[in-house]
Chains A and B, each alone.
Chain A
């Protein structure tokens, strides 16, 4: 369930006016921006942008970019974009890092539906005038690159049909590769990147039944091996996406200095989807509410914005 709290029928024109007031003149009324934008869903935000453009002949996003700063600005920028456009931006940022942030790419392929991934690829082409595949392929290399490019390209079957015999045979194939320690075997990449999610879950369950351990526990070797970490991530994302997101948030908050990019990414992309359940998982795991943990590790407008998306009552 979404954690976002948004009214039924806000007036985009009134909202645009209120935001205009907030950004005009000396300084910016960040609280006003948070209280409006932090309580609008994707459709409503789009209408506000249109109303703002029509009334003031200015791109709201550009205005906000110039008025705000720091982690708060990054979060608001990502929040205000159309979801597919946002993910395209996140993917582009992820691949430009000196060490590609494979999490973002893996999430797109393994948690998003094939149609959602497609929408992101289209948005990517519209924004960057190149395909996501070609950019990813030219920014990555080695086993990790091969894997990520495959993940992004494949348009998975998204039905519930599974083939139990295939699940058994592919669980064996995976086990053989693992036994021989050829983790980057073509077959591993083939199976994990091309099979449907339903089929993969059947395969991973089969693996656990046959070999008494979850496959991720067997896919360990060199801790610095990014490719292997990406494969484990791909498996976790398919098996239990909410548990995966809880871990990303937990790691982001526990890390000395806090990983704001990861924190922002999860909260902004899941606020309208399943952030509520992720919060519940977080509490179960850590005995402290996510709101509390975020308040502890972040501050100022950035903190206020995140808490609003998390569903804090004003």
Chain B
């Protein structure tokens, strides 16, 4: 008979993100068939079939397949050239549709001008088309104008900022927000122009003036328009955006798409702004990201993520 402690340990090895390969080997590999049977009877992964045997629940087998592959996914993504990585992430996001639109914004806004350009080059090689044309033809909703503009951007990255222009553009954004009931700010030419062509430094100044003029953070004001909110966050305080992605991803009830955010954020930001993301995560959640992953992830996948998180320390 398998002790209930071992049943629990094995259940945990199968639950969460990734699988605990070592535990699976050390327990399952040694068990007598009776012990395995006890496990099957005692766990939710199996149901009693009418023909009197304990049957794997299909949903769980599917889930297990994904969990076994989570480590592979992380390793492959990590090893890839960042350009190919971003090109593939955007392609997948376009195929997934609106639920993954945040990825298009994420890549368009949090990469440097040269990194985004590189992604566009890699996309040419991988798919014989430009990101711009694919975004333009697959995104048909209100986000289209904004998205095409964001992925085509090649922003100036120098220190010069024109404060007068920043002030007047803050005013333009204020007005667009006030007018939101009549026209979606995401479709407002001037909003798209400002957010997609101006340098990030310039935009920091614009957002600062916005708060002084309009009274609220622009992030709050555009919150009802999700893609716009993501855009503004990614351009000014990306760590806030990334922490939100992580929160939604490290949730056992989330769908696979959302869960992939965990791998994506850690792999793509490990050498960029992980420190800031970890700090923000701790601030928002009261525990550290490392603790959370220790708790929620298993095996090789967990070890790999923790190793990436420890880089630069």
Name the contact of B136 in the complex, choosing from A125, A137, A194, A196 (C-beta under 8 A).
Answer: A194
Count of B interface residues, CB-CB < 8 Å:
29
Asked if B193 and A118 sit within 8 Å, CB to CB, the answer is no
Residues of B within 8 A of A134 (CB): 155-156, 193, 197-199
- Interface residue? B85 (CB, 8 A): no
Q: How long is the Cα–Cα vector from A150 to B137 in the complex, in angstroms?
A: 14
With both chains docked as a complex, state the minimum distance between the C-beta of A147 and any C-beta of chain B, in angstroms: 12
**Bound CA–CA A153/B151 (angstroms):** 9
Contacting pair A186 B144 (CB below 8 A): yes
Interface residues on A, range: 20 to 34
Chain A CB within 10 Å, residue with most, of B130, B149, B199 = B130
Residue A212 at the B interface, CB < 8 A?
no
CB neighbours (8 Å) of B148 from chain A are: 150, 190, 194
Residues of the B chain whose Cβ atoms lie less than 8 Å from the Cβ of A121: 154
| A155 near B149: Cβ-Cβ < 8 Å | no
Residue on B nearest A195 in the bound complex, by CB: B133
Q: Which of B144, B160, B197 contacts A137 (CB 8 A)?
A: B197
Q: Is B81 an interface residue (CB 8 A)?
A: no
B198: which A residues are within 8 A, CB to CB? 134
Are the C-beta atoms of B152 and A155 separated by less than 8 Å?
A: yes
Contacts of B149 in A (CB 8 A): 149, 153
> Given contacts A158-B124, A190-B136, are A138 and B130 in contact (CB under 8 A)?
no
| Chain A residues positioned under 8 Å from B189 (CB to CB) | 141, 145-146
Q: Which residues of B contact A155 (CB under 8 A)?
A: 117, 120-121, 130-132, 152, 154
Is B216 among interface residues, defined by CB-CB distance under 8 A?
Answer: no
Q: Are A131 and B155 in contact (CB under 8 A)?
A: yes
Report yes or no: A156 in contact with B160, Cβ–Cβ below 8 A.
Answer: no
Indicate with 1 or 0, residue by residue over A12-42, a CB within 8 angstroms of chain B CB atoms.
Answer: 0000000000000000000000000000000
Q: Does B128 contact A (CB under 8 A)?
A: yes
In the complex, per-residue mask of B123-160: 1 if CB is within 8 Å of any chain A CB, else 0: 01000111111001100000010001100111110101
Chain B residues, Cβ within 8 Å of A161:
128
B132 close to A154 (CB less than 8 A): yes
A131 touches B156 (CB 8 A): yes
Q: In the complex, are the beta carbons of B156 and A125 less than 8 A apart?
A: yes
A300 CB-CB contact with B under 8 Å: no
Whether the Cβ atoms of B117 and A118 lie closer than 8 Å is yes
CB-contacts of A188-206 with B (<8 A):
190, 194-196
B83 to chain A minimum Cβ distance, whole angstroms, is 13
Q: Is A159 an interface residue (CB 8 A)?
A: yes
The smallest beta-carbon distance between A128 and chain B, in angstroms, is 9
Q: How far is the CA of A118 from the CA of B118 in the complex (A)?
A: 12
Pairwise interchain contact A149-B193, C-beta atoms closer than 8 A: yes
Give the distance to chain B from A124, nearest Cβ to Cβ, in Å.
Answer: 9
Query: Contacts A159-B124, A196-B130: A129 and B152 contacting too (C-beta < 8 A)?
Result: no
- A211 interface contact, C-beta 8 A: no
Residue from B117, B130, B137, B199 in contact with A131 in the complex, judged by beta carbons closer than 8 Å:
B199
Which residues in B have their C-beta under 8 angstroms from that of A196? 129-130, 133
Instruction: Using CB atoms and an 8 Å cutoff, list the residues of chain B in contact with chain A.
Output: 117, 120-121, 124, 128-133, 136-137, 144, 148-149, 152-156, 158, 160, 165, 189, 193, 196-199
Nearest first, the 4 A-B pairs at minimum CB distance are: A153-B152, A134-B197, A194-B133, A161-B128
